[in-house]
Structure formats: C-alpha cells, structure tokens
Amino acid sequence: MTEQAPKSKMSSNKQQKEDQLFNSRVIAITSGKGGVGKTNVVAGLATSLAKAEQRVVVLDADFGLANIDILLGLSPKHTLEHVLRGERVLEEIILEGPHGIRLIPSSSGIQEFTKLDTSAELRLIQGLQRIAGNTDWLLIDTAAGIHNSVIKLLVAAQEIILVSTPEPTSMVDAFAMVKVLHSIDQTKPIWLLINNALNREEAEETLDQIQAAAQHYLSKNINSLGLIPSDNHLLQAVRQQQGVVDLFPDSPAAKAFQAISEILMEKISLKKDGFNAFWKELSQV
C-alpha cells in the first residue's frame, strides 16, 4: 500500500497539469457600429498579451470585413472557408504573427458559425480542440452591429469587450448592444472600452454616460477597461502593417494597450476547457 501512494500522487499531479492545459479565456471583441477601431483594438490587445508571454489565438469572425491579417502584416493563402469546406485542416491555415500570435483568418461571404452543417461543424470543433492545449486566450474579432450571428457569438463567449468612441452615434449604438445582450443573458460580463478619446476627461464622460444608462434602464453594471487615446502613431502603424505596440512601444496608444492587457490578465479568470465551453454555448444559442 505504501508503494501506491507516490504513484497515486503522481497520477493526480499529471491529471491536474492536463486539466490546466485546456483552461483558457474566450473573449469576444465587438462594437455597436463600424468605424470605431475595433479590429485595431483586437490587434493591440493580442500583441500586448503575447508580449506578456501569453499564448494568444485570434479568430477573425468578421465575415464582412475580414482584415485583421492586414493589421498584423500577414497574408493568408487559405482561410476558415477552406476548413469548413473540408479542403484544409485548421492547423494548415493558422498564421503565426508577431510574438507567436496565431491567427485563424477568415474571408467575406462564408457561412455563419451558427448555420454550419454537421460535417463543417465537426471539422471546426476538432480543429479547435487540437489547438486548445497550448492557448491561454482566444480573442474573437466579431463584426460590428447587433446582427443575429454577432449576438450568438457574443452570448457564447466567456466575456465581452464592447468598443465605443465618444461620438454620440457610437454611444447610442453601444447602449443598444448592451440592451440586446442583456435581454438574452443578464449575467454576461461586459467590459466597456473607449477608443480614440481626445483626453481622459472625454473618455470618462463617455464611460459614465453609457454606464449610467445601463444602470438606470437595465440595472446592469458594465465594467470599465478605460481608454485608448487618439494617437497618430496608431494610424502610422496601420499604414506600415505593424502593431503600434511593436512599432511605437512608448506611444500613448501602446501604453494604453499594455495597461489594458494587464487588467484583463488580472481580472478575467481561466475557464476550464474554454474552447469546448464556447462551442457548446454557441450550439445552444
């Protein structure tokens, strides 16, 4: 009996390590309207997390404007469409970006995840399962707006980052997104991020107005992720197809992305078997 104890302990430790391998965070980044810099936010957060030695996978789920590969300086030969058609496996289309970021590229006009046939769904699930073991974060770049396919992705994700700007139309659309999500899942955590703010006062006023409306009309608390300031370095980085965090690490935008990534690592916990949990939720929405 005494000889069995070490073996049992070793087995327990091994199982614990195996369980930890499949723990991850699945975060959807979205916006109430287009043109608010959502994809720039995804690229900036992915780069900052990767520089902090986090293992990051980005899923481009913006089937109308699939362009995060451009922001990361990547050129996909094959996309998610080829996987869904059975022409490639997921590992064959994944692109490796800066600091080991892995991108699952998409293309416009492909089927929504919620309308896949059984074989296409199985190919995607099996691919995600194979890459889940070495992933800490799955960042999903959704399309903008409250389309049904977008909402289903958001509901399935572990948590949501909602990007808005201080413009009144963007604020109204952001609140509309909160209302729709709240009507489906009142407990879903939402983080509000203000992009392209002229200064901290403008960002805080925008945050306060959206948070106050959510509290007053929905009794919903929205978490604050702070702001990404208006910064010409960001536009320069886009033109050079490099991340602002790499190209201009001391710029205001880069420092903001770094600060926000630290908040995310501190505040959002790992979810057991996060990839499978995401797909299970998506299939039930």
Calpha distance 27→158 (Å, rounded)? 6
Tokens of 180: 């729709």
Residue 102 placed within a domain: yes
Listed in sequence order, the DSSP H helices in 88-199 are 90-93, 118-132, 148-156, 168-184
pLDDT in the model for residue 111: 63
User: What tens-digit pLDDT sequence spans the chain (285 residues)?
Assistant: 444 445 444 445 444 444 445 688 999 999 999 999 999 999 999 999 999 999 999 999 887 676 899 888 899 999 988 988 889 999 999 999 999 999 999 876 666 666 777 888 788 888 888 888 889 999 999 989 998 889 988 999 999 999 999 999 999 999 999 999 999 999 999 999 999 999 999 999 999 999 999 999 999 999 999 999 999 999 999 999 999 999 999 999 999 999 999 999 999 988 887 877 887 787 776
- How many C-beta neighbours within 10 Å does residue 230 have? 19
Q: What is the pLDDT of residues 120-139, one digit of tens each?
A: 878 888 888 888 888 999 99
Residue 11 placed within a domain: no
Calpha distance 16→217 (Å, rounded)? 44
Calpha distance 43→80 (Å, rounded)? 19
Reduce the DSSP state of residue 178 to 3 states and report it. Answer: helix
Residue among 180, 141, 121 at smallest CA distance from 63: 141
Residue 4 placed within a domain: no
Q: How many domains does the chain have?
A: 1
Contact between 55 and 25 under an 8 Å Cβ cutoff? The reply is no
Domain residue limits at 262: 26-284
Residue among 220, 159, 188, 174 at smallest CA distance from 26: 159
pLDDT in the model for residue 22: 66
Calpha distance 251→14 (Å, rounded)? 44
Residue 185 placed within a domain: yes
Calpha distance 119→99 (Å, rounded)? 33
Residue among 41, 88, 96, 31 at smallest CA distance from 64: 31
Calpha distance 222→214 (Å, rounded)? 7
User: In this structure, what CATH number is given to the domain that contains residue 156?
Assistant: 3.40.50.300
Residue 10 placed within a domain: no
Q: What is the pLDDT of residues 249-268, one digit of tens each?
A: 999 999 999 999 999 999 99
What element of type H or E holds 59?
strand 56-61
pTM of this structure: 0.89
pLDDT in the model for residue 58: 96
Calpha distance 53→120 (Å, rounded)? 32
Residue 20 placed within a domain: no
pLDDT in the model for residue 267: 94
Contact between 261 and 25 under an 8 Å Cβ cutoff? The reply is no
First to last CA, the chain: 50
DSSP structure class, residue 189? -
Residue 207 placed within a domain: yes
pLDDT in the model for residue 170: 96
Which residues lie across from 159 on neighbouring strands? Answer: 27
pLDDT in the model for residue 14: 45
- How many C-beta neighbours within 10 Å does residue 156 have? 23
Chain center to CA of 173:
19
Residue 1 placed within a domain: no
